[in-house]
């Protein structure tokens, strides 16, 4: 059991399970993009650890950039996606692989896809370490999924609770009361 501020979290996904999911995703992306140099676009802050591990496991030529959007306050999505750090790259004729830590409703993803299309991306693929299929409500295809989880709040491996817990090497779930 782990306490962060006023919440309790229990172990949920081990480092080994995370590593296996990342390796498989890297292999799948490598297979699909063997003749390309994709731009991996990590979504900050949550995806920075996953993006780092994925790029190292990918071991092929690629470009890396980041964008920062926010929609969460503590353990709840606000439903409003704010762009905090924007896109700086010219995406014309590029294949972009969006690297998300977690997709739940898809609101943030929808905003990202809109931005990428506006900036001329040739092809857009989506990779997420975690997907909450019971709450995902968009028509956007998720090309690479590491682990499907129920609609529970998680932290660790880059994801946080109110700014805390990002450095944990495994994933914890909010303990139900």
Count of beta carbons in the 10 Å neighbourhood of residue 6:
8
Active-site residue among 53, 104, 160, 162? 104
Tokens 């190292």 map to which residue? Answer: 56
Is the link from the previous residue into 127 a cis peptide, with omega within 30 of 0? Answer: no
Q: Is 32 noted as a catalytic residue in this protein?
A: no
How would you class 68 by CB atoms within 10 Å of its CB: exposed for 0-12, middle for 13-18, buried for 19 or more? middle
Task: Name 163's Cβ contacts closer than 8 Å, sequence gap at least 6.
Answer: none
Tell me the catalytic residues. 104
């Amino acid at each position: 059991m782990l306490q962060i501020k006023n919440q309790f979290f229990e172990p949920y996904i081990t480092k080994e399970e995370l590593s296996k999911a990342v390796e498989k995703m890297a292999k799948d992306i490598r297979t699909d993009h063997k003749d390309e140099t994709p731009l991996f676009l990590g979504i900050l802050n949550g995806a920075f650890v996953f993006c780092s591990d994925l790029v190292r496991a990918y071991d092929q030529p690629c470009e890396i950039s980041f964008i920062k959007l926010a929609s969460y306050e503590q353990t709840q999505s606000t439903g409003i996606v704010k762009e905090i750090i924007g896109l700086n790259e010219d995406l014309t004729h590029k294949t972009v692989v969006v690297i998300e830590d977690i997709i739940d409703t898809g609101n943030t993803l929808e905003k990202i896809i809109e931005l990428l299309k506006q900036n001329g991306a040739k092809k857009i693929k989506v990779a997420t370490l975690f997907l909450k299929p019971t709450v995902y409500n968009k028509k956007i295809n998720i090309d690479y999924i590491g682990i499907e989880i129920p609609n529970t709040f998680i932290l660790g491996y880059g994801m946080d609770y109110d700014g805390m817990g990002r450095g944990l090497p495994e994933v914890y779930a909010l303990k139900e009361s």
